[in-house]
Structure 1
Amino acid sequence: MGEVLFGVDDMANLRFAISPLWETVASLRVVADPGRHAVHLPWIKQALALRQDRALTGRTTPLHALVGRDGAVRSFLTPPPRCPLAEMEEELAALAALPAESVRAGLEAAGRRTALTGFEQRLAEDPGRVLPELAQAVLAWWQVGVRPYWPRIRAVLEADVAHRTRQLAEDGIGEVFAHLHPALQWRGDRLVSADLPTGELALDGGGITLAPSAFALRCHLLAGREGQVGAPPCAVYPSRAVGTLWERRDAVGDGLARLLGRSRAQVFAHASSPSTTTRLAARTGLSLGAVSQHLAVLRDAGLVTSHRYRREVHYTASDLGNALLDRAR
């Protein structure tokens, strides 16, 4: 049983993040054990076909060596995300710059459970030289296995974050933790779960990052190690609505298309999860200008709402809009 102890300052430093690095690494476990991840079968079929590419297999061999024959992800391979909406390049740079002590400590812990692979032994001997090789292996799998599907994966994760932040504002931190995952329990000033590493982790005022995951089956704690400045611990938890991830979202009902027009209906259907104008244009094949015009009409009709995060404006179906979409489906 593991516990994460919160102080007063930690309550104020709760944050959310989305980690493309974590999703990329976790996706390999899904491919390795499809039976436990039936919800992802449409994607798994595509990923298994990619695994037949010998050139790709060669480029990703270091990554497979670290995901482990026992299905465990080496702890240093997924350092805590440092910002809410990190880009893959940022996270790979952080991976390549990990302190040698952290890497060796992670491999030493892994070696107590299973024998280290040849690549892991090379990595333990010279982390500074071998880590960039590992980062390139992660990048190779990301580019073909995850990035083509990232807009829809990220949309599901962003929808989860939007739900949790609204819950935090309305009901408080206790309710957020109470509904993250059945395996997690909030007990006064601590988060308790059998999924967390055994022992007690005191946050010491730095707070914690919560990261939803499309590929996680249980909760994981990514704890920053000595030398990883600016990386508070991160609790990864299974995202809401993963069952909708691989639904065909380009199809709209004839009734909705007749009511709104087919192009506008497509934009509306894709706005069932938070999306920017750019992402909606990519998903529908429409121009940015056309998407903006359709969104303006939908917003004026009360069918979509918008909210700004940093430099991006996210559009999502309103309660009225969702009711209409559910009826149309």
Structure 2
Amino acid sequence: MFEFRFGVDDLAATWFAYSPLQEAVLSLRARRSAARYPEQQPWITGWRSRYETLDTALLESLIAPVGFVPDFLTPRPAAPRPDFHAELARLAATPPEVVRSDVLAAYGGDGSPLPPVLAGLIDDPAALTARVAEVLEAYWTRCLAPAWWPRARSVLEADIAYRGRMLSERGAEGLFSDLDVRLSWRGGVLRLTDPHPAVRAVGASVDVAGRGLVLIPTLSGLGAQTDISQVGPPLIAYPARGKATMAEGLDAGLRGDRGGPGGPLAGLIGSPRARLLVLLETPASTTELAHRLGVTPGAVSRHLGALAAAGLLDRTRHGRSVLYRRSRLGDALLGRES
């Protein structure tokens, strides 16, 4: 069990972030365990031919058999919405002794031997780090960035927006109890209990001590987790709310004959706009919607503009992206207003 002890001001310094680098690394778990990550399988199938052109032996060695990941691969985000390449640069600058220690700790969790690709590089951790950075960049560019990441980012953004509301409405106890069943809050102490004996064996008591705890939603977690070593500022990753929606709409189109809604709503605003209105229960960008629906971003953009002008969608800017979500008026039109 891990315990995170909060001082008077530590709760105010707790913040949320997501990490594209962490999502890239942990997405490799989904290839190993299709039954645990069914929502990721359509994506994996779609990029299989591109994935097989990469250094798959090295990529797949980044996840130890027990599921542990060397801590240097998932550094604490430096900002709420970091850039993947900025995070990768931080990874590439990891001291060699830290890389070696983290790899051995991850594989030592259940006594698994190092796979040949790691065994051949573990005594030259600088070379190992350079190769890992190179293969992760290729994996990101060829498989994740074009369509998977825009969809993933919208799910993570929606989770963080929801958690902010939970904190304002229910306070710290309500927030932490809703994050994951492994987490509990009492008397200024946040406890993380992991059922795996290898994790329990390395449990620790951690003083937040003004360093700020960062909470990280992830698509690839089956429960709340933290760093194995606990040598850096404290962090907790937890399963993102709505991660099961990742594959929704991948085979649907804007046209009614491709699965779009029919009936009175389609007759009122047209099938393409009705389809978008149904999809936008959770925030999404123009690029993501275009991929999900198999149409061009320009076609989606025109419909989104019309729906927003009619007051049926709300728009929120996050960095360079604009996320759309159904407004209360849009909910009422669909008969989904609470």
The two structures share one fold, judged by TM-score above 0.5 = yes
Q: CA deviation at 1:221?
A: 1.0
1:171 paired with 2:170, answer yes
1:298 corresponds to: 307
Distance 1:315 1:2, change over 3 A: same
CA contact (8 A) 1:222 1:236 kept: no
Q: CA deviation at 1:76?
A: 1.9
1:210 corresponds to: 215
- Residues 38-187 of structure 1: matches in 2 within 5 Å? 38-46=38-46, 53=52, 55-56=53-54, 59-112=55-108, 113-147=111-145, 148-187=147-186
CA contact (8 A) 2:69 2:106 kept: no
Distance 1:45 1:277, change over 3 A: closer
Match of 1:253 among 250, 261, 273: 261
Q: CA deviation at 1:60?
A: 3.3
Alignment partners' CA distance in 1, 2:42 and 2:284:
22
**Higher share in helix:** 1
CA contact (8 A) 2:29 2:67 kept: yes
Alignment partners' CA distance in 1, 2:287 and 2:106:
42
2:13 corresponds to: 13
CA RMSD in angstroms comes to 2.9
CA contact (8 A) 2:64 2:107 kept: no
Q: CA deviation at 1:217?
A: 0.8
Q: CA deviation at 1:17?
A: 1.4
Amino acid at match of 2:138: A
Q: CA deviation at 1:312?
A: 4.7
Alignment partners' CA distance in 1, 2:79 and 2:291:
25
Q: CA deviation at 1:225?
A: 6.8
Residue-by-residue CA offset, 1:99-119 (whole Å, 9 max, x unaligned): 223212213323533222344
1:200 paired with 2:178, answer no
Alignment partners' CA distance in 2, 1:38 and 1:293:
33
CA contact (8 A) 2:220 2:239 kept: yes
Q: CA deviation at 1:83?
A: 1.5
Which piece of structure 1 moves more, 209-218 or 41-50? 41-50
Q: Size of the alignment, in residue pairs? A: 318
Q: CA deviation at 1:282?
A: 6.1
Q: CA deviation at 1:320?
A: 4.3
Q: CA deviation at 1:145?
A: 3.3
Distance 1:65 1:311, change over 3 A: closer
Distance 1:243 1:311, change over 3 A: closer
2:30 corresponds to: 30
Q: CA deviation at 1:205?
A: 0.7
CA contact (8 A) 1:302 1:320 kept: yes
Identity of aligned residues (%): 38
Alignment partners' CA distance in 2, 1:5 and 1:323:
44
Alignment partners' CA distance in 2, 1:141 and 1:213:
18
Alignment partners' CA distance in 2, 1:271 and 1:66:
35
Alignment partners' CA distance in 1, 2:277 and 2:179:
28
Residue-by-residue CA offset, 1:176-226 (whole Å, 9 max, x unaligned): 111001111111212112127511111111211111111211111137876
Match of 1:271 among 280, 291, 300: 280
Distance 1:216 1:63, change over 3 A: same
SS in 2 for 1:179: helix
Alignment partners' CA distance in 2, 1:283 and 1:149:
10
Amino acid at match of 1:205: G
What stretches of structure 2 of length at least 5 have no aligned partner?
A: 254-258
- Residues 214-229 of structure 1: matches in 2 within 5 Å? 214-222=219-227
Distance 1:50 1:167, change over 3 A: same
TM-score of the aligned structures, taking structure 2 as reference length: 0.81
SS in 2 for 1:175: helix
Distance 1:14 1:114, change over 3 A: same
Q: CA deviation at 1:14?
A: 1.7
Amino acid at match of 2:22: W
CA contact (8 A) 1:181 1:237 kept: yes
Q: CA deviation at 1:306?
A: 2.9
